[in-house]
Amino acid sequence: MITLKEGDKAPSFSSTDQNGKKISLSDYKGKNLVLYFYSEAGSPTCTIESCNLRDNYGLLRKKGFEVVGVSPDDSKTQKKFEIKYKLPFPLLADTSHDIVEKYGVWDQKKLFGREYMGVLRTTFVIDGKGIICKIFLKPKNKAHAEEIITAMGV
């Protein structure tokens, strides 16, 4: 359950990306970060969202945002996702669910009447001081970058 609110300090995190590089929140000190959580690399909705961020990555960077994706997939799966869809940003492997739990996006879900634990697709925009500026609880997968830019007024 997401208990974080806009204005809260973002929980620190550290994990390995699809290239085996260790990535931490502290790496983005002084930068605006779009930290987006998706349930599964390659799933239809998550792919649409990731590709929208990819297609608008240059614009997001021009507007002052870095992008990092997080899912419970392992680094190998993240690497395949990156290659297949030419994703230009880090994709963190959170197989231990440490990051998704810190951010409150690991929760009970329901699909076709079946209940299970999974990631709630959510995006946090974190400023250069580590403060959560904006939370998108149900991102518009086909227009997520535009949604971020509009909401942040840049």
Question: Annotated catalytic, 46?
Answer: yes
User: Which residue do the tokens 């085996």 mark?
Assistant: 20
Q: Please give the helix or strand (H or E) that residue 100 lies within, else none.
A: helix 98-102
Cβ-contact 148, 60 below 8 angstroms: yes
Candidates 33, 46, 125, 126; catalytic one: 46
Residues identified as active-site: 46
